[in-house]
Structure 1
Amino acid sequence: MKTIKTGVIGCGLIAQMEWLPYLHELEEYEVVAVQDISRRAAEHCAKQYQAPYVFDDWRELIRHPEIEAVVILNQCHTEVCIEAVRNKKHVIVEKPLCENVNQAKRIEEAVCEENIVFMIGEMKRYDPGFLYAADIIAQMKSIRMLRFRDYCDGLVRSQNEILETVRRTDVDADLKNKLNQEFWEGMDAATGDIPTEYYYHLLTGGAHDIAMLRAIMGDPERVSYCDIWNGGNELEAAMVYGDKTRAFLEVGYTNHKWFDEEFVVYGEDQTVHVQFPNPYLKNAPTMITVKRMEGNMVVEEKIETSYQEAFRNELLHFYNCICNNLEPVTNVREARMDLELMAGILKAYQKE
């Protein structure tokens, strides 16, 4: 079996909670290098996962000759992605791909020039429950309405109880501010006259929901409505799919400790309800509830398809794409189109 020598850029919370444990567990990968702006976090991860090389600069990691694939988990992805592609590294990058459509087009152009695998870490697209539900939905008669919701606290309150991660307490405040400013400037380019904070939760919290909606239904004809309130903490959008179908997206940031992400698809004689667990709870199953008519009876089924972990599954998909020269399901083109739909949602808000 081929082992992919891998470098990880960004050793923050999501790296420590999800990516590094699965990269270490899977025999398909060998973590040979890590990088972070925090030497403390990088050295902790290198020691825990036996990575021989630790870098302060992501450019040095990308140029290292042993590294075949790069996992990009830092804050601002655009330049890192482009540099990795130009150095002919396979890339998997945490969602969202970047902050705006123009950045996505630059990355896509670079990817098209090289013979490498480039994948976005939209882990819910690899969730066994989502895949099972998507097959049912594909067979549904006359879909009337879809409702997607992500309404939680960004996992802030549950995270430390699940795993206490090493924080970037050794990073200079000016450097942190510079990187934050770069990220917000990337969002500024997408928002126009809308306050940038109105986009933040759509980009970070709604990205999975946009990707799943498009996987099920494709692109809408148009976004008919968007409202954003409470300083950007809540967003609702409506999308048109022909004369008989509408899709709704609800994104909110709350003080709830419980995780609340789900979608419901309403058909002519059947409803499919998909409820996702807290992604930090390893191997927790996604719950599917199917309610349908059989003659004059109402039948309800509750289904737990698998305890397989979505983060692990997407890494196996990435490996398969590298070994067999395949295009990933969550590829750069799809990520750019997700961002275009988000731009359409913001445009609908501007019209209100």
Structure 2
Amino acid sequence: MPIRGMYHGPVNSHSLWIFHADGIFGSGNTGCNDARGGFVDGKPSNGKVHSKLARGTVRRTDPGARGRCNWQHNGLSKPGGDMNGTRLRVGIVGTGLVAQVMHLPHLQSLPNLYEIVALCDLSERTAQTLARRYGVPHAFTDIGDMLDTVELDAALILTPYHYPQVMAALSAGVHVFVEKPMCVNVEEATDMVEAARRNGLIGQLGYHKPYDPGYETGAAMVRAMSVVRMATMYVAHGPNEPFLEHYEILRGDDADPDRVAATGRAMRTAQQQAIGEQPEHVARAYGGLLGSGCHQLSIMRGCLGRVEDVLSTEIWNGGRSIAATLKFERGVRCVFTAVFMPDIRLFDETFTACDDGSSTAIRFPSPFLKHAPTMVIHRGMEDGRYVEREITTDYREAFRNELIHFHRSITTGTPPRTPLEHGAEDAATMIAIVRNCPDFVA
């Protein structure tokens, strides 16, 4: 099935995302708490965060209050200008699991690149506690208050639903790093890409795997193949919780329930715009693609190029198992299979490509096992002998690498390796995968 809405030039990026509590790949929720912008009747208000519903409370741990980002006052010429050597002032929106396990510790480990100046979360207790722990001067429960009060160069959007916060930050002249899934439908993606372009800002999508050293090695080997005869992308894993037992994760229970409910309504509306009303297993599969499948698409893109078509799709096991055949540039086929296994401590994610005389496999560990290397396994013939090599590139952490890259993109104007446009492409591909299922209701 041709990919509807596939963007074949510069794109505006919006990632589709259905939120299912028990999607294919576990909870479906990264654990990030919401700190959304405005909603009207359950719909995103196009990034406008100045409605009564959107307003939260602000508490500051120091009395200094700075104004909205002003590039002249800041000493910077304009977004994307010459800022080499600049320590960027960053605000974190959403202080849940991925913020606590990954982004806050990694930002703190890069003091020459970043200064964390504000945290924002619907849970005031969580934001305040983490602000004290990391020495952050400002804590908010609403992104509009944060943007009005604090001078920011960049914002990390780490909430479950990203559209309102991304649009608010871009409208305020702030560079944006947005976690996956970037969006829930293609229309959202288009708005984000256009807003970043219109304001001359960097928008980087939080796909960490392209910044993984082992992946970089393996992908280069695949791209060097003269021809790819077959490729497979396989992921099978259980719940995230067994890989998180060694972390202390704060979970506040003081978020405004009305704001939490409004976020859920907005996400459901966005999902319906993407795929309409579907049987439960089809909707759950779409949620799994948004929560995890977008990572596999980023892996395949770096090795094979862009998806041109979805040739077939099967969804079964209540939506927790998916198989799809994708056609890439140069006619390369890749069979993508994914399954969620609720009763095992397992993360098994492997991409493999074969030519006429060799195969290269890239095997990923759980992302929550920091510094565990991604292995590359190369098989082939040398002097008439079969040879198998296992390559460990190094132990640098992909989540940290992507933050270094984000800083470089902002300070040099270099386009990100994972631009918002990729989120737009992936949104269209994930919709096409679901639409190709025989059980899809047109």
TMscore range, shorter length: over 0.9
Aligned to 2:339: 252
Picking from 164, 175, 191, the partner of 1:90 is: 175
Picking from 365, 371, 392, the partner of 1:283 is: 371
* 8 Å Cα contact 1:152/1:260 also seen in 2: yes
* 1:8-37 residue CA offsets vs partner (Å, 9 max, x unmatched): 000001100000000111021010000000
Matched, 1:163 2:247: yes
TM-aligned CA distance change 1:151 to 1:177, over 3 Å: farther
How many residues align structurally? 351
- For normalisation by structure 2, the TM-score amounts to 0.76
Aligned to 2:21: none
* 8 Å Cα contact 1:32/1:52 also seen in 2: yes
- For normalisation by structure 1, the TM-score amounts to 0.95
Amino acid at match of 1:90: H
* 1:105-164 residue CA offsets vs partner (Å, 9 max, x unmatched): 1111111101111101100010011111111111113211111122213412221x2202
Question: What pairs with 1:222-261 in structure 2 (closer than 5 Å)?
Answer: 222-241=309-328, 245-255=332-342, 256-261=344-349
Distance in 1 of aligned mates of 2:147 and 2:406: 18
Secondary structure at 1:329 match in 2: coil
* 8 Å Cα contact 1:152/1:252 also seen in 2: yes
Structure 1 stretches lacking a partner, 5+ long: none
Aligned to 1:265: 353
Aligned to 1:41: 126
Distance in 2 of aligned mates of 1:82 and 1:153: 34
Matched, 1:21 2:105: yes
| Deviates further, 62-71 or 122-131 | 62-71
Question: What pairs with 1:1-150 in structure 2 (closer than 5 Å)?
Answer: 1-27=85-111, 28-150=113-235
Secondary structure at 1:235 match in 2: strand
Distance in 2 of aligned mates of 1:179 and 1:241: 35
* 8 Å Cα contact 1:187/1:200 also seen in 2: no
- Offset of residue 41 of structure 1: 1.3
Query: Equivalent pairs: percent with the same residue?
Result: 32
Matched, 1:153 2:238: yes
* 1:88-118 residue CA offsets vs partner (Å, 9 max, x unmatched): 1011010111111111011111111011111
Amino acid at match of 1:305: T
* 8 Å Cα contact 2:306/2:329 also seen in 1: no
* 8 Å Cα contact 1:35/1:61 also seen in 2: yes
Matched, 1:190 2:274: yes
* 8 Å Cα contact 1:46/1:53 also seen in 2: yes
- Offset of residue 215 of structure 1: 2.1
Distance in 2 of aligned mates of 1:228 and 1:315: 35
Distance in 2 of aligned mates of 1:154 and 1:275: 19
* 8 Å Cα contact 1:285/1:304 also seen in 2: yes
- Offset of residue 243 of structure 1: 8.2
Aligned to 1:204: 291
Distance in 2 of aligned mates of 1:229 and 1:175: 34
* 8 Å Cα contact 1:200/1:232 also seen in 2: no
TM-aligned CA distance change 1:315 to 1:243, over 3 Å: closer
* 8 Å Cα contact 1:201/1:251 also seen in 2: no
Pick the structure with more helix per residue: 1
RCO higher in 1 or 2 (8 Å CA, sep ≥ 6)?
Answer: 2
Distance in 2 of aligned mates of 1:174 and 1:80: 17
Amino acid at match of 1:226: T
Q: CA RMSD, aligned part only? A: 1.7
- Offset of residue 242 of structure 1: 6.9
Distance in 2 of aligned mates of 1:245 and 1:118: 30
Amino acid at match of 2:102: E
* 8 Å Cα contact 1:140/1:270 also seen in 2: no
Distance in 1 of aligned mates of 2:297 and 2:410: 26
Distance in 2 of aligned mates of 1:291 and 1:77: 41
Secondary structure at 1:92 match in 2: strand
Picking from 350, 362, 371, the partner of 1:274 is: 362
Secondary structure at 2:234 match in 1: strand
* 8 Å Cα contact 1:194/1:350 also seen in 2: no
Distance in 2 of aligned mates of 1:270 and 1:209: 22
Picking from 403, 411, 414, the partner of 1:315 is: 403
Structure 2 stretches lacking a partner, 5+ long: 1-84
Distance in 1 of aligned mates of 2:151 and 2:309: 47
* 8 Å Cα contact 1:150/1:205 also seen in 2: no
Aligned to 1:324: 412
Matched, 1:342 2:430: yes
Distance in 2 of aligned mates of 1:298 and 1:189: 52
Distance in 2 of aligned mates of 1:237 and 1:4: 42
* 8 Å Cα contact 2:236/2:346 also seen in 1: no
* 1:263-319 residue CA offsets vs partner (Å, 9 max, x unmatched): 111221111111111111111111111001224311100011010000000000000
Amino acid at match of 2:293: G
- Offset of residue 241 of structure 1: 3.7
| Deviates further, 332-341 or 174-183 | 174-183
